[in-house]
Copies of this chain bind each other. A is one copy, B any other.
Amino acid sequence: MFIAVIGAGQCDEKTYTLAEQVGRELALRGATVVCGGLGGVMEAACKGAKSVGGHTIGILPGITCRDANSFVDIPIVTGLGEARNSIVVRSGRAVIAIGGEYGTLSEIAFALKFGIPVIGLGTWELARGGTLLASMVEAKDARQAVDLAISAIVA
């Protein structure tokens, strides 16, 4: 069971801790973390997963595996720049979005486009004509985010 964790390559301490909790919870449930392989939220999610013996995959934008954070088990070297975002999303069966900047927004958009469930933790709110989009579920904490992601897959 692969679940993508997406978020910015730089983040504040609170977001880092949240991402670490998400990574740990995912690993405890037997899920493998798929992410963009770099710093910030990606690093934190990998670190959390490894802290309890989990597995991690990093889909890197650059041309060398040396870009991977030190908690990535499986570095995939795409050389595609930001176009690798669609691969991160496609390789997960659900997506947990934590905080995040524009790159994260592109991944949320791709996930919704591909019909992959997205769980948010303090991430983008999307509206059209003043009406909030209902397709994305907001969780209240790391544990609930992981619960919701796993339920969405099983369902």
Contact = CB atoms under 8 A, between A and B. Distances in A.
Interface of A: 32, 57, 59, 63, 65, 74-83, 86-87, 90-91, 101-103, 105-106, 108-110, 112-114, 122-130
Nearest to A55: B74
Which of A74, A108, A126 has most B Cβ within 10 Å? Answer: A74
B125 A82 contact: no
A80 B81 contact: yes
B77 A90 contact: yes
Contact of A105 (B78, B79, B105, B130): B105
B113 A106 contact: yes
28 contacts: A57-B76, A63-B81, A63-B90, A65-B91, A76-B91, A78-B83, A78-B87, A79-B81, A79-B83, A79-B87, A80-B80, A80-B87, A81-B86, A82-B114, A83-B83, A83-B87, A102-B109, A102-B112, A105-B105, A105-B108, A105-B109, A105-B112, A106-B113, A109-B109, A124-B127, A124-B128, A125-B130, A126-B127
